[in-house]
């Protein structure tokens, strides 16, 4: 993914400010918990293309996420994995669970 500034919203889990690609002086607010974890973004692409489908009941899907949401999710995942890795390194190993991914 292209370089952009991604900042977490202080004291708000799953919310990020993501720098716009087309207008670098602007940021879009991404909330990863909306629409059952699909996320919601303040950009026009999401509002006019993705959000209407989700409002009508579409299930969360990577095709219903704008560039900003994909970038925020990547940062969120890296943050979570970093915390988990540090805890495991310190001896507080999390319980391992198997998940079957639906394709």
Interval 36-63 mean pLDDT? 97
Mean per-residue pLDDT of the chain: 88
pTM: 0.80
Q: Does residue 32 surpass a pLDDT of 70?
A: yes
39 domain-assigned: yes
Domain count, the chain: 1
Residue with tokens 């303040």: 42
Tell me if 72 is assigned to some domain.
yes
Residue 103 confidence (pLDDT)? 44
71: pLDDT strictly greater than 70: yes
Q: Is residue 97 part of a domain?
A: no
- Quick check: is 54 in a domain? yes
Tokens linked to 92 = 């507080």
Three-state secondary structure string covering the chain: CCCCCEEECCCCCCEEEEECCCCCCCEEEEECCHHHHCCEECCHHHHHHHHHHHHCCCCCCHHHCCHHHHHHHHHHHHHHHHHHHHHHHCCCCCCCCCCCCCC
The whole domain housing 70 covers: 6-89
61 within some domain? yes
Mean pLDDT value of segment 60-67: 96
Is 98 part of any domain? Answer: no
Task: Point out the least confidently predicted range of 39-43, 49-53, 55-59, 83-87.
Answer: 83-87
Residue 16 in any domain: the answer is yes
């Amino acid at each position: 993914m292209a370089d952009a500034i991604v900042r977490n919203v202080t004291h708000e889990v799953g919310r990020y400010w993501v720098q716009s690609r087309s207008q670098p002086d602007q940021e879009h607010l991404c909330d990863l918990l909306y629409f059952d974890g699909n996320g919601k973004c303040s950009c026009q692409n999401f509002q006019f293309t993705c959000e209407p489908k989700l409002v009508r009941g579409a299930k969360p899907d990577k095709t219903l996420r704008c560039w900003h949401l994909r970038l925020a999710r990547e940062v969120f995942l890296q943050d979570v994995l970093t915390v988990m890795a540090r805890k495991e390194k310190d001896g507080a190993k999390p319980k391992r669970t198997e998940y079957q991914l639906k394709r």
